[in-house]
Chains A and B, each alone.
Chain A
Amino acid sequence: MSNSSHGAQQSQTQAKLVLLGDMGAGKSSLVLRFVKGQFFEHQESTIGAAFMTQTVTVDDHVVKFEIWDTAGQERYHSLAPMYYRGAAAAIIVYDMQSQQSWQRAKSWVRELQRQGNANLVIALAGNKSDCKDMRKVSKEEAEAYAEEQKLSIFLETSAKSGECVNDLFYSIANKLPKQARATPQEGGRGGVVLDANAGQNRQKSQCC
């Protein structure tokens, strides 16, 4: 991992990454494990965190992930289209100990495909692999499904033990288009950046 800023020799991609999946599948836990290396047995629904960022380096290429959490809006099927806007990658998470969670994951895949973003890298993650004896969804079934739907990545992960969590994010970084992009949504003419320093570049009126 690297914190280097826009280095001359390193190209950088900024990538919005969204997480989808049923309540309790472990979306927030996966992000927390990846970004902070932490795991809490009774993770509260995340309060007050809009998104987290984490930078990874793959072959001298820096990918800065901007990771969006559903903020609980998936619970009553009320995720806003804004959530998907400009996303470069999506991770669909299911709890391998729950058939319901697996069925919901498949409907999230359909929902994503309906958005019609052909360049989106979609990863499927069967979470909670630390207690495989409780498994209700077989690896073969999920693998076959991922292949059939042409999903880019399938992995079984454990946010608790950390198994395959970094692999998941690094695989995504690998699949992203290599060319460095500007902040995906602000490109083009007339883009403006809002900040608190209102009117800083205000011109004083001058007599001519």
Chain B
Amino acid sequence: MSAKLNDQAVHAIELARKAGASDAFATAGQSRDVEFEYRDGKLEKVKDTTSQSLSLSVYADGRYSSHSTTDLNPGRLQSFVRDAVAMTRALEPDEFREITPERLFRDLPQQDLDLVDAKVATLDREQRVAWCRALDEAARDHKRVISATAGVYDGTSRSASASSNGFAGQHEATYCWFGSEVTLRDQGDKRASDWFYAGGAHVSDLPDAAGVGQQALERALVRLDSAKGPTMKSAMLVDSRAAGSLIGRLLRPANARSVQQGQSFWAGRLGEQAFSKQLSIVDDPLIRRGLASRRYDSEGIAASVLPIIDKGVIRNIYVDTYYGRKGDMQPTTGSPSNRRVTTGEYSLQDLLAKVNNGVYVTSWLGGNADSTTGDFSLGLRGHLIENGEIGAPVGEMNVTGNLVDLFSRLDLVGNDIYPYSSTLAPSLVFSDVDFSGA
């Protein structure tokens, strides 16, 4: 794929060894990214860039540090690596630091993940502008539209990694996304707005551009006349697009570092029924054309399918090599790839009918969670659910609780995965949720 990147990574390791490192892991990367933005009938921004970088992890005298640079001038690279090794030596030794052992990368998966579409590199200005026009026309097709911005984003990234103990890997992926953001005149000075973006690794994964623009418009239109909903305790239906970020908050402390550092509500619960039986989540790096698919992680650990939660029971967390040794856990992988939430049997309509009365959340606004205790509070917008149907749009509300408690009251799971995210989540229904509003 790219001999040059591989040579750069190998060269950096040689330099590090020469400077006195006992081990090193290097990644050389390059990318091309193109961005077209089109607003209200006119091309507004064209950005076309190529970028390069080198990152290097250094192990010397029982010490460790990591470094990166975009300056690949050969002379300066040499002093960069020399500085990196010298800096490592100025630190304190750490018995838990060790380069990723060979057993963790011996068996890199070999299947084709289909992450590269040669067509992406051949996209031209005409095609991108044609998409922009189609998005723009569909997104502006309403008298309330003040402004709509369409965007097309595509590119290719490549990297090669190598280590002093024999790791060698290459990663290449393309992406192509487009979508629209629409702002409508609402009551007084208020504007209603929303967006819709679609994309994937292959151009053929893209839906019809006009349909995407239209969806953005429709999402904005249902926001018109939004008002503050009531303060109450009720059921919460989170739509599949908003569910991804809620799942992300739940999983954020599901890693060896947070656990070892005593800052995780996941600590000490491996094998426990911590959440509702409706909840199963798998980290799956091997999905064909997956947005975060990979054959190895940033430390070189071979990718494999990792069950995180199975019917509410905690099966695994993310464990990298360092915190694995420090916390006495087997390394799994240090970082999430694609997170797949197991679907249920219900359509969105079924879920609305079953909830009957409650709140339908379509997006979040701000908020946070404490990873030690799981206490959370999030701003939201969406709709009231009235007699099993989507009712009046609401906003300026918060939902507050504890993540462990919330996910133990996950009652129903939809069958409607949102595909345009690396967290593949369906709609979710929770009972007895605290809402604050008017």
- B is a partner of A: no
